[in-house]
């Protein structure tokens, strides 16, 4: 039976970030994923915000051109323009980025097994024995710590008896190339409770790729039909007559906020598995990078010291307070289904004070707390 320090289930952005950081610290890391290739079945649009781009080493060739402009549309398609002096967003070329980060992992000594599923584990003394299933065989790995980066419906979370996501929206989008761009790169956001109940429809067009999608609460709409209807009404906004469709993406996005109980002495959760997504905007890449970076620091410190107090730095309760207002706005969005009310709300955003609020939603710099400070503080408390 092979032995490893850390087993990471899921090679999305969260799992890759954890794996490469832990590998770079000299730990023996095993990374597994159900897919044969990380360029297959991508779920996210991949919009990185300015603060993420400033704080993390996202390779420039894995990013599209910058976006500074947002157009917000009411249900009647009345538009409002928002713009920034800064490069606020860049659309990631996620397949390329995943492949690049996997190369970083391999260079750091991480063991990589594709086309493999986590099926469960048992406790053996101070270790876990993890069962891994491939198409043709099963194997067992002895590991000191388990990290669940396996998405919003995390099997690892259930087996570790950690908290699981209970609220999410579903989204589907088509990605196109060869779409003419009139004006600067732009993010178009459509508030329409019939097309996208509880969330929005969008066009993210950076001149190289155009992502067109809808999202909303499951049970309230049919995502594929809503996307078809949305695309049919975009003739005046975007020209798809000669476009080439690259792929269709879709998946569930947790919007209940970061979960409270996301770690114990046997393992922890990162990314969507931990609910690390903004409840209001459903943006998950910035929380994913920050929480995964913190996770790698906490796991390395815990495995070295065996001090369980270190794990207290990795608690969702430390982060949820930052999202209180967004959680309340998420509740309002979930219950507001009348187009007339949304139309009125969009009109009110033209008032100066509310216009500043809209600007802050799209261009604000808020995120997770300073993760380095939190880790130092928690370790110091444990020492006391």
Closest listed residue to residue 191, CA positions, set 332, 44, 288, 314: 332
Whether the pLDDT of residue 102 is over 50: the answer is yes
Segment 191-198 shows an average pLDDT of 93
Distances (CA, A) of 227 to 123, 238, 249: 46, 15, 12
pLDDT at 323: 74
Q: Do 37 and 121 form a contact (C-beta atoms < 8 A)?
A: no
Whether the pLDDT of residue 382 is over 50: the answer is no
Residue 383: band (very low, low, confident or very high) from pLDDT cuts 50, 70, 90: very low
Whether the pLDDT of residue 381 is over 70: the answer is no
d(CA 384, CA 255): 36
Order across the sheet with 63-67: list the strands. Answer: 47-49, 89-92, 63-67
Per-residue tokens: 376: 């130092």
Give tens-digit pLDDT for 332-380: 877 877 888 888 988 888 888 888 878 877 887 665 655 554 455 455 4
Question: In whole angstroms, how large is the CA radius of gyration of the chain?
Answer: 21
pLDDT at 376: 52
Write the CB contacts of 351 (distance below 8 Å, at least 6 apart in sequence): none
Give tens-digit pLDDT for 118-132: 999 999 988 999 999
Backbone dihedral angles phi then psi of residue 172, each to the nearest 5 degrees: -145, 140
Whether the pLDDT of residue 327 is over 80: the answer is no
Helix (H, G, I), strand (E, B) or coil at 269: strand
Whether the pLDDT of residue 95 is over 60: the answer is yes
pLDDT at 223: 96
Pairing of strands 2-9, 138-148: parallel
Least confident of 192-206, 276-290, 296-310: 276-290
Write the CB contacts of 244 (distance below 8 Å, at least 6 apart in sequence): 176, 177, 178
Give tens-digit pLDDT for 222-270: 999 999 999 999 999 999 999 999 999 999 999 999 999 999 999 999 9
Give tens-digit pLDDT for 163-175: 999 999 999 999 9
CA angle 291, 88, 169 (to 5 degrees): 55
Per-residue tokens: 246: 């690259």
Q: Which structural domains are found in the chain, ordered by start?
A: 2-383 (3.50.50.60)
Compare 363 and 198 and report the one with higher pLDDT.
198
pLDDT at 337: 78
Whether the pLDDT of residue 114 is over 60: the answer is yes
User: For the range 327-334, what are the long-range contacts, defined as Cβ-Cβ under 8 Å and sequence gap of 24 or more?
Assistant: 327/256, 327/257, 327/279, 329/279, 329/280, 330/255, 330/257, 330/279, 330/280, 333/198, 333/199, 333/280, 334/198, 334/217
- What's the whole-model pTM score? 0.93
pLDDT at 105: 98
Closest listed residue to residue 25, CA positions, set 295, 384, 235, 257: 295
Give tens-digit pLDDT for 50-84: 999 999 989 999 999 999 999 999 999 999 999 99
Q: Do 311 and 304 form a contact (C-beta atoms < 8 A)?
A: no
Write the CB contacts of 60 (distance below 8 Å, at least 6 apart in sequence): none
d(CA 343, CA 348): 9
d(CA 39, CA 99): 7
């Amino acid at each position: 039976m092979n032995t490893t320090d850390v087993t990471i289930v899921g090679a999305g952005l969260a799992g890759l970030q954890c794996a490469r950081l832990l590998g770079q610290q000299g730990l023996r890391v095993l990374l597994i994923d159900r897919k044969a290739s990380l360029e297959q079945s991508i779920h996210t649009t991949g919009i990185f915000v300015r603060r993420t781009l400033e704080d993390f080493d996202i390779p420039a060739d894995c990013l599209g051109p910058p976006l500074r402009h947002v157009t917000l549309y009411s249900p009647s398609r009345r538009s409002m323009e928002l713009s920034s002096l800064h490069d606020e967003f860049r659309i990631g070329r996620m397949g390329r980025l995943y492949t690049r980060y996997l190369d970083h992992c391999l260079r750091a000594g991480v063991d990589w097994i594709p086309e493999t599923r986590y099926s469960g584990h048992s406790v053996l003394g101070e270790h876990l024995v993890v069962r891994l299933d491939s198409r043709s065989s099963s194997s067992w790995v002895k590991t000191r710590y388990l990290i669940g980066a396996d998405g919003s419906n995390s099997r690892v979370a259930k087996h570790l008896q950690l908290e699981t996501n209970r609220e999410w929206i579903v989204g589907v989008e088509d990605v196109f190339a060869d779409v003419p761009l009139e004006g600067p790169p732009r993010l178009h956001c459509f508030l329409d409770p019939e097309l996208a109940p509880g969330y929005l429809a969008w066009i993210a067009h950076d001149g190289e790729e155009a992502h067109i999608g809808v999202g909303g609460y499951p049970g309230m709409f049919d995502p594929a039909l809503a996307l078809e209807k949305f695309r049919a009404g975009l003739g005046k906004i975007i020209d798809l007559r000669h476009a080439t469709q690259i792929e269709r993406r879709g998946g569930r996005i947790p919007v209940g906020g970061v979960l409270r109980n996301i770690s114990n002495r046997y393992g922890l959760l990162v990314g969507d598995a931990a609910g690390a997504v903004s409840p209001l905007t459903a943006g998950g890449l910035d929380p994913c990078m920050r929480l995964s970076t913190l996770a790698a620091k906490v796991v390395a410190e815990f495995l070295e010291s065996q001090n369980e107090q270190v794990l207290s730095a990795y608690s969702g309760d430390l982060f949820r307070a930052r999202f209180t207002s967004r959680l309340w706005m998420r509740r309002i969005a979930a219950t507001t289904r009348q187009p007339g009310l949304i139309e009125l709300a969009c009109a009110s955003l033209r008032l100066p004070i509310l216009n500043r609020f809209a600007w802050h939603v799209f261009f604000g710099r808020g995120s997770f707390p300073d993760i380095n400070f939190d880790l130092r503080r928690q370790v110091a408390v444990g020492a006391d």
